[in-house]
Structure 1
Amino acid sequence: MDKFKQQYPIIVDDIVRWGDMDAFGHVNNTVYFRYFEQARIGYFEQIEAMAYMQEYGIGPILAATNCRFKAPLKSPDTIQIGATVSEFAAHKLIMKYAVWSNTLQRVVAEGEGVIVFVDYQAHKKMPVPADIVDKIKVLQPDLFTA
């Protein structure tokens, strides 16, 4: 868990609900994308991306995503969902996620998302706003040192 906390600057606590499970008795694969979304929104709130979007009409949108399942997750359980930006480019962010099971004491799923910024009125992709980049630099200074 210590390594998990070091890898992910944003960690969201959640529970595994009985309704998250499918007929096979484990969390349905689609639910992991909701878990990732919770962490992604937590990250966006930390860097004030949602406030920026409300003020300027330019905000993040998920362009692509994937998940690698490592162990079956079941209810009841408590989980931590981590999010970090692993790569930065002028027009996109690559965000990595992981789900930690307190019952199993291990990572049960890992995922990745490609985030682009969009001008929601013009319906076109935009560079990641400088204000947002500055906030990511504060949250993850090592991302920009190489």
Structure 2
Amino acid sequence: MAENISKYKYKTPIAIRFSDMDAYGHVNNAVYLTYFEIARSHYWKDVAKWDWNESGVILGRSEINYLKPIVMHDEIACYVRVTRIGNSSFDVMHVLVKITPEGEEICTTGKTVCISYDYSANKSITIPAAQRQRMIDYDEPGLISNTH
């Protein structure tokens, strides 16, 4: 899954914690999902302006491609963009980069399928219109596959 980060506008820094490390001094593979979650949460707050009182979001699927290890003293950031919007679900791509004096190195890519969810009814619901439009407008119309 080679990603072109020039298609991404949204980027958030990620702090590496000592507890993220495995016995070999690398970020543990399970922690990458947490990094993706941090970046997605910031995107939903800053871009989609998700109204958590109206609806929630649950994860339906996650994929991770580990390309280069990340270690404690690396400076990293995560790019996020929505690549597909359906009726109740949408795909979010993530690209974790290591920031170096030479530029950014892609370390990990991933995709999550997110589902708009009503916790009180315990079921998926249509993505709220305002959030849908904000994601489409932000992530460059024409680049998102809109399948609703």
TM-score range, shorter chain: 0.7 to 0.9
Alignment partner for residue 65 of structure 2, among 38, 62, 68?
Answer: 68
One-letter code aligned to 2:7: Q
The alpha carbon displacement at 1:144 in A equals: 5.0
Tell me what 2:25 maps to: 25
Paired positions, count? 139
Q: What is the CA distance between 1:116 and its match in structure 2?
A: 0.6
- Distance in 2 (alpha carbons) for counterparts of 1:8 and 1:38: 16
Of all paired residues, the percent bearing the same amino acid is: 27
Q: List alignment gaps of at least 5 residues for structure 2.
A: none
Q: Calculate the aligned-residue CA RMSD, in Å.
A: 1.9
Unaligned runs of 5+ in 1: none
Matched, 1:35 2:35: yes
**One-letter identity of the residue aligned with 1:17:** R
Give 1:48's aligned amino acid.
Answer: K
Over 6 Å off, 4+ runs: none
Once the two structures are superposed, the pairs formed by residues 49-68 of structure 1 within 5 Å of their partners are: 49=50, 52-54=51-53, 56=54, 58-68=55-65
CA offsets, 1:56-114, max 9 Å, x none? 2x121111112110011111011110111111111210110010001484110001100
Look up the equivalent residue of 1:100 and give its one-letter code: V
Conserved 8 A contact 1:92-1:114: yes
Q: Deviations over 1:15-41 (max 9, x none)?
A: 323332100221100111111011110
* Superposition TM-score, scaled by structure 1 size: 0.86
What is the TM-score when the length of structure 2 is the normalising length?
A: 0.85
**Corresponding position: 1:79 with 2:76:** yes
**Which stretch of structure 1 is more off in the superposition, 130-139 or 35-44?**
130-139
Partner in structure 1 of residue 48 of structure 2: 47
Residue 136 (1) aligns with residue 139 (2): no
Paired letter, 1:39: A
- Supply the AA of the counterpart residue of 1:67: I
Of the three residues 88, 91, 94, the one matched with 2:85 is 88
Residue 26 of structure 2: SS of its match in structure 1? coil
